Amino acid sequence: MKRWLETLIFWGLLAALWEYGVGYLGVRRYLLPPLSAVLAAGWEQREMLLSETWITLLEVVAGFAAAVLGGVLMGVLIHLSPLARRTLYPLITALQSMPKIALAPLMIVWFGYGFASKLASTFLFAFFPVVVATLGGMANVPINLDEHFHALGASRWDRFWRLQVPAALPAFVDGIKIAMPLAVIGAIVGEFIGAEEGLGHLMTLATANAQTDLMFAAILVITALAVFLYWLVERLARAVWWRGISF
């Protein structure tokens, strides 16, 4: 109860600072509207915000799932194959160093304005952390346990499934916790560049029409969506109960 109370007080103070600080400092509404105006605009456009949120949520979930699946497979391949480590891993690192916003227009050219381009953008943002987390987890197998499995005559598959996978899961769940907010960013960036629906598209329209209050309402919804999805991943991560336990 104390933790909930502390959290509510903290966010309540931030909300009050936003609401009254804008008026006290004389900030113009088209630059930063007070929180009450943002909430009023969000309530007035609640049906549109809800429909656009479902679209963005679908893009995020689909792109995140694809990034997790692809990242795990790529990480395992690079871990098991020295050839893949020498060839694919530098290529993935080079692609990660490229600015994703610069690649977003190419997604529109290649996949159009529909769902596929947003899926590709979300995948690009969330893919690399999963690969790195999977590789780090696979390399984190304690040497004494690996030698113990060898001494017992365990097959390569048994060592992989019964030792390497459990040892990699703590790093893996930390990686997907990083990837989830990035997936939200990727979907929004894709909608910014070119879309006909979604919260990013709504923000673009609100900016073009000088509806700053609606734009901030969309930002709050995006933030709430990212926090909720991160919370879900965090709840799932608790199933890996041996996180933080040294072997």
Mean pLDDT within 155-180 = 83
Residue 136 CB-half CA count within 13 A:
13
Among 56-60, 92-96, 160-164, 190-194, the least confident range: 160-164
CB 235 within 8 Å of CB 176: no
Percent of the chain with pLDDT strictly greater than 70? 97
Has residue 226 got a pLDDT over 90? yes
Q: Where is pLDDT greater, at 108 or 77?
A: 77
Q: What is the mean pLDDT of the chain?
A: 85
Sign of the dihedral through C-alpha 210, 216, 221, 223: positive
Q: Kindly give the interhelix angle for 212-237 and 199-208, rounded to the nearest 10 degrees.
A: 160
Prediction pTM value: 0.84
Has residue 246 got a pLDDT over 60? no
pLDDT for 28-52, tens place per residue?
888 888 889 899 998 998 899 999 9
C-alpha R_g of the chain: 22
Residue 65 — pLDDT band, cuts 50, 70, 90? very high
pLDDT for 193-224, tens place per residue?
877 788 888 888 888 888 888 999 999 999 99
> What SS3 state is found at 244?
coil
Residue 238 DSSP one-character state: T
pLDDT for 117-147, tens place per residue?
889 889 989 999 999 898 888 877 777 777 7
